[in-house]
Structure 1
Amino acid sequence: MTLSHLSSRAVRFALACLVAVPPLAAAAGDLYRAQNGLDITATGAGAFAVERSGGAGPRETWCAASDYAARRLGARGAARLYLAEGAGARGPVHFTLTAPADGGTRLGQGGNYSVRLDLAGFHMSQIHAEALCRLREDDPPWIL
Structure 2
Amino acid sequence: MEKKKIRKNPPKPESDDPDTTIWSWIVQRGTNPSFICISLFALLVRVCVSIHPYSGAGTPPKYGIMRPQRHWMEITTNLPVKEWYRNSSVNDLSYWGLEYPSLTAYQSYFHGLFLRFFYPKSLSLYTSRGYESYIGKLLMK
* Band of TM-score, shorter chain: under 0.3
- Please give the TM-score of this superposition, normalised by the length of structure 1: 0.26
Per residue, is there more helix in 1 or in 2?
Answer: 2
- Please give the TM-score of this superposition, normalised by the length of structure 2: 0.26
